[in-house]
Structures are given as structure tokens and as C-alpha cells.
Amino acid sequence: MAAETPTGGGETSESQGAFSRWVQSTIQNPQKAYRALFYAAMVFFLVTTLFPFYWLLVLSITPISEIGSTPFGFPPVPRGAFPWNFGAYIEVFQQVPFHLYVLNSFVLAITTTVIVLLIASLAGYVFGRLRFPGRGLLMLGVLAISYFPPAAFLLPLFDAFAGNQIFVPFTDIPLFKPPRLLNTPGSMILPFSALFMPLSIFILTTFYGQIPDGLEDAARVEGTTRLGALFRVIIPLSAPGVATAAVLTFITVYNEYFFSSIMATSNEPSNWSPLVGGILSYQTQFTTSYNLMAAAAVVGVLPVVVLVVIAQERIVSGLTAGALKE
Amino acid sequence: MSTEQETAVSTDQRSSGLFSSVTRWMENLSETQYAYLLLLPVFVILGSIALWPLLKTFEFSLFSDSLVGTSRVGEFVGLKNYVDLWTGQKDAILPGTTTFISFSAPFQSAVIVTLIFTVVSVFFETLIGFAQALILDQDFRGRRWVRVAIIIPWAVPIVIQGMIFFLMFRSGVGFATAPLQDLGLLAPTQPLNDSASALLIIIVADVWKTSAFMALLILAGLQSIDRGLYDVARVAGASKWQQFKLITFPLILPTIAVAMLFRTVAAMRVYGIIDTVSKCEVVPSLSCMVVATFQTRYGTSGAIAFSTAFIIGIFVSVIIYQRAKEGI
């Protein structure tokens, strides 16, 4: 250490650049190196997460005639005369009725969210506030079901939604003949509700469990019914928890791919095909309209981006509460 | 006194009818009865949309495929579908040149592709997620906005995630193809139609989207570490690296293990990103194979679906066992 300092000091002449001066002071003060590393890593992650969106924007404002000629270099820059061509954002609604797909997605997501919140509220209340035999086992069962792949449920559900007779498994005993649900919202809302309900149950269990018993007791003494206490005391007091479950359910349904792409048997908005169908119809019908694909992707991603910016606190707390036991 | 009460009850019932009698009935249930009553909707929906299909899938898998007529399946064949599947005798049914499990062409084999995808993407998601979590754990101006930026990929719909990477790597449009081909990382022509290249691109896409989820879980773990430990370490003269090695890392390890299990289970279901970026014939995941066969071959498809559920079930039981040990 002592031997290094004189040589180090010798080099800090006025002719040295800012960089080597910075290196010098860093050697004396490692805190600075940590901070530099920290900012470098932060910028790196910001660039890698946001760059794909920049690419979509570049592609969507470059006219299609400019895209096919040569591939984009790195970093990609918009082509064509300034001001760039925002026509793709209008054309994207004209080639296919893209707004109808997005509307379908919204209807499916909102309906599923309402159903999930209602049922998960009851379950969250039971798991969070009541003590009864079988509680632990049931919670584990709900948890286990939520991990199974949708592919494991697909065959019988598709068969049933096609309107075929339902039998008791492993027997020939007929149960009932369901209505044909393919190409209707029901064929998607039902699987979504089942698959995304466990997350909401766990979030609401955590939040409902934190309300002090005294508040519920007070309401009961005042003459409120059991269910009244849940809906008038517990749920309003857990508003942040309910909002968390709602935001997460909405986003997961909006983002779902598996059932969304299968239960609507064609990519037609009249068959209740959601966002998935809208985006894919550009890939299958307009195979070289890359600017339209990019514009459609930008339009489709906007609602979730807005939601994340508004509700980030809720999302962070919900994802961690759903996955980790605090 | 008792007669008075009874009259009160009967007038009450007459005036408000069914609703009040249901309420009264509910008030008199024991806590256990009440709990199970409120759980009834959950039982109905999970039973009919998850449990029943799982059993039914297993039942389908025990029958041969029915290629003619209207019935879903042919005669009862026991476990023959599973034997045929795992010994490669069903490979001809699978789309393109894909196989169920074959070590001679690993990138065309559903089981191996799914495992490679899972192991590689979970590994990198953990690394990157950990680094992102360490950054978000610091106090700095604009932390809120950096966190939004890091979370956003998690919220992007799978179909749009797929579209982004399709447009990035599509020959003739994407800027990323040519330089990576020069480095020899991607196939020289149409990388999205080459099994190994497409798998690599899909892994990159998945890491981009899901690292944020990992970061949030790990961040929650980091923030639950007692800050007093760092004060003690600083007083004792420990460097930042020593603090990380001796405090942060050992205390965060259980959280990372749990988060990795979660991601493993989710990664093994991969389907949508493959369907959008490439094709199931090019990158055959297990879920892909179920979708590709299910409309005509209920027996085979059922066997693939239940095998998938079984493999995932192994990891699920580890999670469940851990939860049970911690008392839910």
C-alpha cells in the first residue's frame, strides 16, 4: 500500500485526463467504484428491458416500402422522410377490426376479475379468519391445482365446451349435456377463473387475515349478519388487497395465451377471439406488413403499461404475497 | 318468553321471506359448517375446471385413438399409449420430424427441449433477477421509475412478447439476425425455422419477460433481511463484498430456491411464445405436442398431457411439501 501511493501520486500530473484522475480517486475510495458499478448495471438493465419497445416504435413508424429493402442495422433508426409515418396506427384498425379484439380482451378480463374476486373473497375470508378442520389441506390442494399446466386440462374442457355429453370419469354414467361454449366468452372465462383464482385466494387470505378480530366482533354485536360483516367490514377495510387481486387478475387474463388461442376456433372477433387473435391475424394474413404488426403490438401493450405505471405498488406487493409466505 | 320469540321469528319470516330464513340458517351454522359453505363455489369451479379434467385426461390416455366415427376414443389399451410414447413408437404421429424423447436429435425432442428451455431460462432469470433485485434494493432518486421499467416486460402479453422477438429475429427485417449469424450463434438461413436457433431466441425472449418476476420475489427477500446485521458488519470493518458474501447471500438463498421452483413449474408449461415466434414443429415443447395432437387423437394427446402433468407434478409436490412443513 505504502509503495503504491508514491507511484500513484506521480501519475496525477496535470496532463493526465479526467478518466485516470477518476481511477486514482477510486483506488483511494472503493465506495466510488461500487457506485459506478451500480449505475452501469442500472443503465444496462434499463436499456435491455426498454429496448424491445423502442424497436417496435421504430418499426411501426417506418413505411412498409422502406422495410423490405435492407434489414435494419444496429442500433435501428426509423427510416423514411421526417416527419415519420404514423399511418400504421390508423391502418392497423382498418385491415382487421383490431379494436374489437382489444374490446373482447377487456370484456373477458373484467368479467373474470369480477367472478374471481367474488369467489376468492369468500375463500380468502374462510382461510384467513376461520379455524376449522381441513384448512391446511384445502389450502395446499388449491395451491397444487394452480401449478398444473393448462395442457393437462385442455382435452376434456374442449370436449365439454364443444357440447358433448359429460360422464363421470372412469365410468359410462352420463352426468349432463353442456351447452356448446366454444367461440363464446364462457369457454374462456371458466378456465381463466379456475386457473387464476388461487393467486387471488392467497392474496386475499393474507389481507383479510390481518384485520383485527375486534372490528368484526363489533359489527356482529351491532347485529350484522356473518356475510354482512364480510362485505361491510372486512372487504372495505382490505380495499388495497382487493385492488391488488383485481389488478393481477386483469393483467394475467389480458396476457393469457393458451386458452385464448384455442377456445376461439378462428381468429375472428365475432368468435370472441381476444388480443391474441388480433395480433396473430397480422402474422398469418398480412405476412409482410411488419409495420402493422409492430403498430398492433404497441396498441395492444398500452393498456398494461398504463396499468403497471398506475398500480405498480399493488403489483409488487401482490406478486410477492402470492408467491412467498411472509 | 319462548313463545314470544317464536312469534317474532314467524312474523319476521313472513315479512321478508326466503332471504331472512337463509340468513338465519347461516347464523346458526357451526364455524366448520360455515367455512365449508363459503368454500362451496371454489370447490365447484376448481372441481369442474381443474380436477375433473385432470382425471378425465388420464382416462382418455388409457384408450386408443379413434380415427373414425364420432366417439372420442377407441378401445381400452391400458398404459400402452405411455409405453409407445416413451419408446418412440408414437413419433410418427407428432408434427413434422419431432419426437417425444430421443437423444439423437435433442432439439427435436419434446421432453429434452422442454427441459433445456426450463433449465437454461430459469438459470439466467435467477442471475439477472438477482442483479436487478440488488439494484432495486438501493436507495436512489428515480427508484420508482426504474422499478416500473423493470416490471413492464412481466406485464407484456405473451403474444406481444412473441411478436417483438419475431420482428427482431425475422430474416430481412430484424437487426439482430445478421450480427449473431456472423458470430455463428444463429443458423445462416431463417433462424426462426432452425430448432437450435429458435430455441435460443425463445429462451432470450423468456428471460427478458420473466426476470422481473424473479427480481420482485428476491427483492422481497432482500428487504426482509434485518438491516441491523449490516450495521454490525460495518462496525466490525467488513467490506461490501464481505457483507454480501456473509450476510446477504446466505440469508437470501432460501428465497431464491423457492422462486426458482416457482419459475421451473411455470417454465415447463411453455407454449404461447413458441407458437408466436416460431412453430411447434420447430421447437416442440410438451404443451405444444398436446395442442398439435388433441383434436384428432385423444388417447395419444391425453398421454402426452398427463405425462406433462406428471413431470410438473414432481416439482409441485416439492413446493407443497415445503409449504406443509412451514405450516402453509
**Which chain A residue is nearest to residue B306, measuring alpha carbons?**
A152
DSSP strand pairing (A174-176 vs A166-167): antiparallel
Which residues of chain A does B144 touch, with a Cβ-Cβ cutoff of 8 Å? Answer: 312
A59 and A112 belong to one structural domain:
no
Block residue for cell numbers 411501426: A60
Residue A68 belongs to domain spanning? 4-89
Q: What integer pLDDT is reported at residue B26 of this predicted model?
A: 83
Grid coordinates given for B260? 426458482
Contacts of A294 by beta carbon, 8 Å cutoff, 6+ apart: A55, A56, A57, A59, A60, A88, B163, B167
B188 preceded by a cis bond (ω within 30 of 0): no
Helix residue ranges, H only, B29-157 = 31-46, 52-61, 80-86, 110-136, 143-155
Grid coordinates given for B112? 429434452
**Which chain A residue is nearest to residue B301, measuring alpha carbons?**
A155
Which residues of chain B does A123 touch, with a Cβ-Cβ cutoff of 8 Å? Answer: 38-39, 41-42
**Which chain A residue is nearest to residue B241, measuring alpha carbons?**
A34
Q: What integer pLDDT is reported at residue A165 of this predicted model?
A: 83
Note whether A25 and A32 are within 8 A (CB).
yes
Residue B245 is classified by DSSP as: I
A22 and A97 belong to one structural domain:
no
Q: Which amino acid is at A300?
A: G
A284 and A229 belong to one structural domain:
yes
Q: What integer pLDDT is reported at residue A69 of this predicted model?
A: 66
Contact A52 B59 (CB under 8 A): no
Which residues of chain B does A148 touch, with a Cβ-Cβ cutoff of 8 Å? Answer: 50, 54, 309, 312-313, 316
Residue B244 is classified by DSSP as: I
Contact A257 B158 (CB under 8 A): yes
Looking at CA atoms only, how far is residue B182 from chain A in angstroms?
Answer: 13
**Which chain B residue is nearest to residue A76, measuring alpha carbons?**
B175
Instruction: Please give the CATH superfamily to which domain B93-293 belongs.
Output: MetI-like (1.10.3720.10)
Block residue for cell numbers 444496429: A74
Residue B63 is classified by DSSP as: E
The residue out of A89, A109, A141 marking a domain boundary is A89
Which residues of chain A does B38 touch, with a Cβ-Cβ cutoff of 8 Å? Answer: 122-123, 125-126
- The closest alpha carbon to B195, from B274, B84, B111, belongs to B274
CATH at residue A214:
1.10.3720.10
- Residue A84 at interface with chain B, using a CB cutoff of 8 Å: no
Given B152, B158, B168, which is nearest A308 (Cβ)? B152
Q: Helices A290-323 and B249-267 sit at what angle, rounded to 10 degrees?
A: 130
What residues 289-308 of chain A have any CB closer than 8 A to a CB of chain B? 290, 293-294, 296-297, 300-301, 304-305, 307-308
Grid coordinates given for B160? 406481444
Given B173, B268, B291, which is nearest A290 (Cβ)? B173
The residue out of A89, A111, A138 marking a domain boundary is A89
Mutant choice from A102, A148, A280 vs B, greatest count of B C-beta within 10 A = A148
Looking at CA atoms only, how far is residue A180 from chain B in angstroms?
Answer: 16
Task: Per residue of chain B (328 residues), give pLDDT as tens.
Answer: 444 444 444 444 455 678 888 888 888 888 889 999 999 999 999 999 999 999 999 998 998 888 776 777 888 888 888 998 898 888 888 887 888 888 888 888 899 999 999 999 999 999 999 999 999 888 888 888 898 999 999 999 999 999 999 988 887 787 888 778 888 788 777 888 888 899 999 999 999 999 988 998 898 888 888 888 989 998 998 888 888 899 999 999 988 988 898 899 999 999 999 999 998 889 999 999 999 888 888 888 999 999 999 999 898 888 888 888 876 5
Helix residue ranges, H only, chain A = 4-11, 18-28, 30-60, 64-67, 88-95, 98-129, 135-147, 151-161, 186-209, 213-221, 226-229, 235-237, 239-255, 258-262, 275-285, 290-323
Contact B55 A130 (CB under 8 A): no
A207 and A246 belong to one structural domain:
yes
What residues 217-276 of chain A have any CB closer than 8 A to a CB of chain B? 225-227, 251, 254-258, 261-262, 275-276
Contacts of B211 by beta carbon, 8 Å cutoff, 6+ apart: B124, B125, B128, B129, B132, B153
A78 and A193 belong to one structural domain:
no
Given A73, A151, A191, which is nearest B308 (Cβ)? A151
Distance, in Å, from the CA atom of B179 to the CA atom of A76, rounded to the nearest integer, reads 13
Query: pLDDT digits over B203-252, tens only?
Result: 999 999 999 889 988 988 888 888 889 899 989 988 888 888 999 999 99
A50 and A110 belong to one structural domain:
no
Residue B63's beta-bridge partner residues?
Answer: B76
A117 and A198 belong to one structural domain:
yes
**Which chain A residue is nearest to residue B173, measuring alpha carbons?**
A71
A170 and A124 belong to one structural domain:
yes
**Which chain A residue is nearest to residue B256, measuring alpha carbons?**
A324
The residue out of A89, A114, A138 marking a domain boundary is A89
Q: Which amino acid is at B167?
A: L
| B167 membership: H or E segment, kind and range | helix B158-169
Q: What integer pLDDT is reported at residue A9 of this predicted model?
A: 43
Q: How many distinct structural domains can be found in chain A?
A: 2
Contacts of B46 by beta carbon, 8 Å cutoff, 6+ apart: A142, A145, A194, A197
Contact A301 B157 (CB under 8 A): yes
Looking at CA atoms only, how far is residue A222 from chain B in angstroms?
Answer: 14
Contact B34 A194 (CB under 8 A): no
Residue A232 is classified by DSSP as: I
Contact B49 A193 (CB under 8 A): yes
A217 and A293 belong to one structural domain:
yes
Contact A154 B132 (CB under 8 A): no
Q: Is the ipTM of this complex over 0.90?
A: no
Query: pLDDT digits over A190-237, tens only?
Result: 999 999 999 899 999 989 988 888 888 888 888 888 888 888 889 999
A217 and A269 belong to one structural domain:
yes
Q: What integer pLDDT is reported at residue A21 of this predicted model?
A: 82
- The closest alpha carbon to B118, from B187, B212, B210, B197, belongs to B210
Grid coordinates given for A143? 395451491
- Residue A320 at interface with chain B, using a CB cutoff of 8 Å: yes
Given B26, B286, B305, which is nearest A155 (Cβ)? B305
Grid coordinates given for B264? 421451473
CA atoms within 13 A on the CB side of A72: 25
Q: How far is CA B48 from CA A113, A189, A277, in A?
A: 19, 13, 27
Given A140, A152, A304, which is nearest B305 (Cβ)? A152
A14 and A72 belong to one structural domain:
yes
Q: Helices A290-323 and B195-223 sit at what angle, rounded to 10 degrees?
A: 40
Which residues of chain B does A324 touch, with a Cβ-Cβ cutoff of 8 Å? Answer: 217, 220-221, 255, 258-259
Mean pLDDT (chain B, rounded): 86
Q: How far is CA A260 from CA A114, A273, B129, B301, in A?
A: 18, 7, 29, 19
pTM (2 d.p.):
0.88
A121 and A46 belong to one structural domain:
no
Contact B324 A136 (CB under 8 A): yes
Given A71, A120, A225, which is nearest B174 (Cβ)? A71
Residue numbers in chain A where pLDDT is lower than 50: 1-12, 325-326
Block residue for cell numbers 413492464: B152
- The closest alpha carbon to B328, from A121, A147, A148, A134, belongs to A134
Distance, in Å, from the CA atom of A205 to the CA atom of B98, rounded to the nearest integer, reads 44
Mutant choice from B26, B42, B225, B285 vs A, greatest count of A C-beta within 10 A = B42
Q: What integer pLDDT is reported at residue A154 of this predicted model?
A: 92
Q: Which amino acid is at B132?
A: Q
Distance, in Å, from the CA atom of B255 to the CA atom of A325, rounded to the nearest integer, reads 10
Grid coordinates given for A188? 374462456
- Residue A168 at interface with chain B, using a CB cutoff of 8 Å: no
